[in-house]
């Protein structure tokens, strides 16, 4: 059994006189937890625990239980089921302070005075199989997941036409569900050669349509992710690395200004490819010289419909942030 206590504190001071907003707040959180790992039968393992938090932004303590059960019918196979609860306190977050413009007006986010904590309940079931295949070891992992959110945080339009700013308010917005399946597979020979990949197919819906665009689907949340990586250490030659990441289509709010009216866009998918190669040269018995060459975002995947001009919606940004780039490295290791 393990147990412990944790304390955290943070303060935030932010002043924006031009927009009549000033913040000087402090948050503290005291938590205690206990957890036990019980092997109650051969090849069966139960992990269970409880955490209690007292947060300065909440009126009462929050209890977060968790439990995970694992069964290994054969050494290469693990079957898992887990349940967990969590919460997020209604404090001011960094993204609330970022000033963006909508139709040439500054976008201000304020928290509703009655904002409550966001609560989550997560369930997961899956298996991990690691068979010996040829000279290497394979991997097949499948997980199904579901997270229910209650009193989730949501930013909605609350504009006052008599002010020069575009006001938005963070409120509690009913409930939502996030669910889907994740599949990972791979094969490798130690650290010499490893190839692996995975895909996540998910859905994220509000319990009721949000008021601004009438959508039940989460914004900026793709339905599909995928990734693949290859690492290859060629003895006395080079180390090679390649990676690809796919981000599927998603819904993104686009406020009027550059465009004629508010609308909900469906974005394009993105495929990013990163490549790297390096070689290590021994310098006698001591140091080693490492020479490397890398290329990031080889496909130069980037948002193609950014707004322009003084009336743009500067928050209408999605997708990869880094353009295509090529770099070289030279370092000495001891």
Q: pLDDT tens digits for 173-194? A: 889 999 999 999 999 998 899 9
Q: Are residues 211 and 231 in the same domain?
A: no
Q: Are residues 212 and 275 in the same domain?
A: no
Flag whether pLDDT at 93 surpasses 80.
no
Residue 2 located in a structural domain: no
> Does the structure show a pLDDT above 90 at 64?
yes
Q: What is the pTM of this model?
A: 0.83
pLDDT bucket at 97, cuts 50 / 70 / 90: confident
Please report the pLDDT score of residue 333 as a whole number: 86
Instruction: Burial-class residue 7 by CB neighbours within 10 Å (0-12, 13-18, 19+).
Output: exposed
In this predicted model, what pLDDT tens digit does every residue of 288-309 receive, in sequence order? 899 999 999 999 999 999 999 8
Q: What is residue 187's DSSP assignment?
A: E
Residue 141 pLDDT greater than 90, yes or no:
yes
107 domain-assigned: yes
Query: Do 167 and 145 fall into the same domain?
Result: yes
Q: Decide: residue 162, CB within 10 A, 0-12 exposed, 13-18 middle, 19+ buried.
A: exposed
| Domain contains 45 | no
Q: How many domains does the chain have?
A: 2
Residue 254 in any domain: the answer is no
Q: Specify whether 65 is located in the same domain as 96.
A: yes
Domain membership flag for residue 59: yes
Provide the pLDDT for residue 33.
96
Share the mean pLDDT of the chain.
92
The reply to whether 181 falls in a domain is yes
Domain carrying residue 16: 10-31+50-218
pLDDT tens-digit profile of 27-50? 999 999 999 999 999 999 999 999
Are 170 and 144 in a shared domain?
yes
Residue located via tokens 């935030």: 12
């Amino acid at each position: 059994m393990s147990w412990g206590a944790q304390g955290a504190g943070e303060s935030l001071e932010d002043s924006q006189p031009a927009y009549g907003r000033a913040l000087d707040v402090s948050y503290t959180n005291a938590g205690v937890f206990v957890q036990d790992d019980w092997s109650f039968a051969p090849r069966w393992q139960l992990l269970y625990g409880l955490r209690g938090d007292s947060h300065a932004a909440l009126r009462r303590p929050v209890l977060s239980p968790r439990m995970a059960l694992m069964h290994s019918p054969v050494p290469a196979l693990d079957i898992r089921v887990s349940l967990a609860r969590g919460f997020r306190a209604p404090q001011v977050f960094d993204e609330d302070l970022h000033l963006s413009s909508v139709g040439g007006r500054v976008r201000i986010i304020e928290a509703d005075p009655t904002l409550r904590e966001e609560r989550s309940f997560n369930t997961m079931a899956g298996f991990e199989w690691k068979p010996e295949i040829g000279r290497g070891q394979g991997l097949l992992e499948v997980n199904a997941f579901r997270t229910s959110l209650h009193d989730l945080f949501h930013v909605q339009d609350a504009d006052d036409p008599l002010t020069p700013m575009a006001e938005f308010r963070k409120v509690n917005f009913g409930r939502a569900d996030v669910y889907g399946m994740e599949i990972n597979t791979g094969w490798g020979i130690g650290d010499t050669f490893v190839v692996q990949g995975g895909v996540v197919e998910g859905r994220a819906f509000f319990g009721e349509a949000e008021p601004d665009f009438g959508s039940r689907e989460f914004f900026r949340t793709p339905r599909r992710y995928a990734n693949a990586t290859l690492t290859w250490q060629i003895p006395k030659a080079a180390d090679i690395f390649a990676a690809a990441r796919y981000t599927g289509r998603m819904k993104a709010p686009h406020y009027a200004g550059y465009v004629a009216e508010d609308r909900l866009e469906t974005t394009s998918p993105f495929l990013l490819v990163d490549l790297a190669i390096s070689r290590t040269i021994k310098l006698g018995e001591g140091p080693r010289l490492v020479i490397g060459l890398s290329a990031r975002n080889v496909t130069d995947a980037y948002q193609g419909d950014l707004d322009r001009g003084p009336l743009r919606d500067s928050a209408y940004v999605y997708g990869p942030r880094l353009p295509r780039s090529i770099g070289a490295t030279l370092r000495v290791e001891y």
